[in-house]
Amino acid sequence: MTEISLRRSFRFLLLFSLISLQSFVGFSDDTNSRTVTKVDAHPSSSSRTGSTILIICITLSAVGGLSFFLFKLWQKKKRDEQYARLLKLFEQDDELELELGLRD
* Element of type H or E holding 18: helix 2-27
Structural domain contains residue 36: no
Count of domains in the chain? 1
Q: Mind listing the pLDDT tens digit for each residue in 79-104?
A: 999 999 888 887 766 666 677 777 65
Q: What is the mean pLDDT of residues 53-61?
A: 94
Q: Mind listing the pLDDT tens digit for each residue in 4-20?
A: 666 777 777 777 677 77
Q: What is the mean pLDDT of residues 30-40?
A: 53
Structure letter (DSSP) for residue 102:
S
Structural domain contains residue 7: yes
Within 8 A by CB and 6+ apart from 103, the residues are: 94, 97
Q: Which of 100, 80, 50 is nearest to 58 (CA)?
A: 50
Structural domain contains residue 93: yes
- What is the pLDDT at residue 67? 96
Range of the domain at 9: 2-25+47-100
CA distance 25 to 77: 60
Give CA separation, 2 vs 9, 10, 15, in Å.
10, 12, 20
**Could you tell me how many residues make up the chain?**
104
CA distance 4 to 75: 46
Structural domain contains residue 37: no
Band (56; pLDDT cuts 50, 70, 90): very high
